[in-house]
Amino acid sequence: MSETFAIPQVKQVQVKQAQPNLQFLRVIPGILLLAAIGYAGKLLEQNVGKYAKFHHWIFPNIEYVLWAILLGLAISNTVGVPAIFRAGVATYEFWLKVGIVLLGARFLLGDVLKLGGVSLALVAIEITGAIAFMTLLGRLFHLKPKLTTLLAVGSAVCGVSAIIATQGAIDADEEDSSFAIAAILALGALALFTFPLIGHALHLSDHAYGLWAGLAVDNTAEASAAGALYSDAAGKLAVLAKTTRNAMIGFVVLAYAIYWAGRGQAKTVKNKAAFLWQKFPKFVLGFLLISVLATYHFFSKDQVTALANLSRWAFLLTFAGVGLRTNFREMRKQGLRPFAVGAIGEVVIAVFTLGLVIGAQKIWGW
Amino acid sequence: MTTTDATLDKKSEKSSPKKISWDTWAVLAAFVAALLIRFGVVKHIPW
């Protein structure tokens, strides 16, 4: 059962999408599972610390984010996720986007423009550097050119969805897409555990760490989780930086589509504006709109608090889903070379973006 | 952005251009929730 969860799961959901009426019912068990795991994570955060303190044990304070991910990982990698829950578990990305849009209420427009402007500059440097490096690495390891393109887009822009969007645009093989997705997901899972440790070891501020997580971790769910594992403030900034990166997806995919069409290996893009709109993540607009409304006091202070709490609940379901959909056995099956290229690339990008953030930190004095 | 949503979006692109993507549904759901809170239908969300 566990073997089906990383990539084949997507195919199952696609089939279910064809029956919208039934799909609504099919997602309920999985959503309840996400909620149960997320809530269990929250209870563990509250009670394990108290229990350890009561018994005079030295036990680190583990946040609900990590508990939810660990519980999900434990289920996914032991008993597996039963079929009845899979369609609902796959909605964790829907909750992620709901959470991001609602998070907009916690950002005033001025902050978004200021932080987004800094993020945008750093994102532009990160994307350029990451694509150049991954392309070079793919050539060194003799990967297929389109697989190299998928890995480059996945690590430079926004993980799995960028890979899927690019796969369609450049007519890449499904197999290449699966390789690239597996590499990005595996490395995202590793980042969840390594990034907070590195951040604490380097005594990064919440601001610097959040930006770094948003710039270096590829998949939005993992980037949000890696940020939230550090602190609430870091989580907010990680989402903002990652959202800025996501906004670039259309441009990068369009550039690659034109490149491969020029080589006669992909369809020509006829309407570039329509292509950009189609690929543009709409939740970025939702996030900005909520931020504008909050800035102009459309919501009272209590209402902003309620929206922020609702955003946390949505993220809670997301973090449970991150653990549940990560299956290490399935990832291992995808092969070593693309993973090695991805891993080397990710380490270099992580170091590169860390340097960028530390440099920016010195300039802006966060 | 993420796996399932992008895949579902891709599927919907192929099957029907007018179908609303999951991305857009997420935005709509968030706005409905925000409006319910704004107009006092939902007064308090605990954490």
Mean pLDDT split into 10-residue runs, chain A, 366 residues: 36 45 82 95 87 77 82 92 92 91 84 77 90 90 86 82 78 75 79 91 93 90 90 91 85 86 80 83 89 91 93 90 84 72 87 91 77
Across the interface, whether the CB atoms of B4 and A168 are under 8 A apart is answered: no
Considering only alpha carbons, which residue of chain B is nearest residue A246? B1
Q: How far is A363 from chain B (nearest CA, A)?
A: 30
Burial of A145 (0-12, 13-18, 19+ CB in 10 A): middle
Report the amino acid identity of residue A256. Answer: Y
pTM tops 0.80, yes or no? no
Q: How far apart are CA A18 and CA A35, in angstroms?
A: 25
Phi-psi region of A237 (alpha: psi -120 to 50; beta: other; left: phi over 0): alpha
Are B34 and A168 within 8 A, CB to CB?
Answer: no
Residues in chain A within 8 Å Cβ distance of B44: 302, 306
CB contact under 8 A, A282 and B38: no
Distance from CA of A243 to the nearest CA of B (A): 9
Question: Which chain B residues have a beta carbon less than 8 Å from that of A18?
Answer: 15
| CB contact at 8 A, A205 and A230 | no
Measuring CA to CA, which residue among A316, A346, A314, A328 is closest to residue A213? A346
- Give the chain A residue whose CA is nearest to the CA of B40: A303
CB A361 within 8 A of CB A208: yes
Q: Check CB contact under 8 Å for B6 and A164.
A: yes
Q: Which residue of A has its CA nearest to B46?
A: A309
Tokens of A45: 């955060």
The per-residue pLDDT for range B1-43, each reduced to its tens digit, is: 444 444 444 444 444 556 788 889 999 999 999 999 999 999 8
